[in-house]
Amino acid sequence: MNSGKKIQSALISVFSKEGLEPILAELNKLNVKIYSTGGTQKFIEAQNVPVTAVEEITTYPSILDGRVKTLHPKVFGGILARRENNHLAELDEYQIPEIDLVIVDLYPFEETVANTNDESQIIEKIDIGGISLIRAAAKNYRDVLVIPSKEAYQDLQNILVDQQGFTSLEDRKLLARKAFAVSSHYDTAIYNYFEGDDNEAFKLSIQNAQTLRYGENPHQKGIFYGNLDDMFDKLHGKALSYNNLVDIDAAVNLMKEFINDKPTFAVLKHTNACGTATRDTLVEAWKAALAGDPVSAFGGILICNRTVDKETAEEIHKLFCEVLIAPGYEEEALSILTQKKNRMILRIKDFTVQSRLFKSLLNGVIAQDADAKMETADHLEVVTDRAPKKEEINDLIFANKCVKHLKSNTIVLVRDQQLLGMGCGQTSRVDALKQAITKAQAFGFNLSGAVMASDAFFPFNDCVDIAQAAGIVSVIQPGGSIRDKDSIEKCNEHQVAMVMTGTRHFKH
């Protein structure tokens, strides 16, 4: 015999009717008395299921163009009454029916904000009655079951079919938790709409949560909040890890800079690009990117801006990589790449990335706008006697895209749209440059005719001396140092061209 509470009455007020029909059929089969109003009532009647209008309980009509329908003591009293004390006597005194089940699906506020700038439409999609019903039913979870959104319809269907309409305290408390998740998310969305640029408080709510194998290390717990299916189709491989996701984010942000360029490939390790190249064909781009650092590429993250063809897949297949990301894959290419069972293959659907960045630190959170700025040839100010040649300008722009996405302090060396060497995460700019030169030379690159990019200004002219001695002919940097003149004079001395962008690209 079931020892739970039996659902005997239900109040239904939903925006989305999808998936409601089988629930109504089960409620009717279990002889549950149903109360409703407005469009939901009409929908229930159309299913030939008995329903009592809320107005019959309240003796009050829906008023103010439907803004006030369920907000009444005879509705909320039946939801909030505690069954184990004298509340039931008060219900009898005021002829208020008990309500055991509340089903709500809120007005689609977020969808409305996403689809229109019409403030009047947006304001009308702020649900008042529905959110109040959810909170009331969740508060009284000891006696009432709440279904707070269409995403929970299946939970109710299972209870009705498998448990014949009986609910346990665990059932009701679990759905109360989901209800408060829905209500808090809804209120956060409304707050963020009204907040604008005032930044009075930090509020962020994401409904979807995915437990990861672990965090950055096996002893750390990891969770991803969001819906990866909006960005990717996962075509093959094991589940993505915390570190995979961090690297994928870095890869997508980098490749977004090249999305409209010729075929481009990038190889990343621990969020830093160790190889990047643009060529006339994708396979050429892959070979040139790999040549930048074939050692670090092992177990790396690969990303490109074109559909992967068979020839490119055959070359990629020679290397062990963790993740491959591309806008598409030819059928033959995919059959080759899936031969390694653990290789994660993603088809990227959208290069849209976060416009706002957050990081927890100390006893709070810091937030900033994402670095969405990228300089073009029109932004370059030539500050030396010699101006860079056209091909040098192309390489300088390429190098600047790369340097923006490496950890500071960072220096990038490029020639012919290929990353030859990079130094990143160094405590001095000189060390970053020396690291970049050492890496380039270690993989057989002659730096004669190459260009150099720096994420921030040169505090001294020593980097120009070192770069010129290695073969560098042009430099791109933001400028802004009180010693800019020293670096410019040193460039003129060596006939090195220098351009300034006026924009620093620190990344920590």
- Kindly list the catalytic residues: 139, 270
∠ at Cα 333 (327, 338), nearest 5°?
95
How far is 216 from 214, CA to CA, in rounded Å? 7
> What would the 3-class secondary structure string for 452-469 be?
EEECCCCCCCHHHHHHHH
**Separation CA 71–CA 67 (nearest Å):** 9
Coil/strand/helix, residue 152: helix
- Residue 184 burial (CB count, 10 A): 13
| DSSP conformation class of 116 | -
Report which of 410, 482, 415, 417 is spatially closest to residue 446, judged by C-alpha positions.
415
Paired residues of 280 in beta bridges: none
- For residues 290 and 419, is the Cβ–Cβ distance under 8 A? no
Phi/psi of residue 6, nearest 5 degrees: -90, 135
CA dist 369 to 184, 477, 502, Å?
24, 22, 18
The residue written with tokens 């009655």 in the block is 129
Coil, strand or helix: which one is 411? strand
Selection from 84, 79, 71, 70 nearest residue 97 by Cα:
79
In this structure, which amino acid lies at residue 35? Y
Beta strands (DSSP E) in 226-285 are 232-236, 264-269, 272-278
Environment class of residue 318 by beta-carbon count within 10 Å: exposed (0-12), middle (13-18) or buried (19+)?
exposed
Rounded to 10 degrees, the C-alpha dihedral 370/371/376/381 comes to 140
Q: How far apart are CA 299 and CA 473, in angstroms?
A: 34
Q: Say whether 108 sits in a helix, a strand or coil.
A: coil
Strands (E), 166-208: 166-167
Tokens 């299916």 identify what position?
A: 229
Query: Taking the alpha carbons of 491, 496, 499, 504 in that order, is the dihedral positive or negative?
Result: negative
Rounded distance between C-alpha atoms, residue 8 and residue 149, angstroms: 21
- 14: helix, strand or coil: strand
Task: Tell me how far apart the alpha carbons of residues 288 and 416 are, in angstroms, rounded to a whole number.
Answer: 10
Closest CA to 339 of 319, 317, 307, 312: 317
What is the torsional sign of CA 383, 384, 387, 388? negative
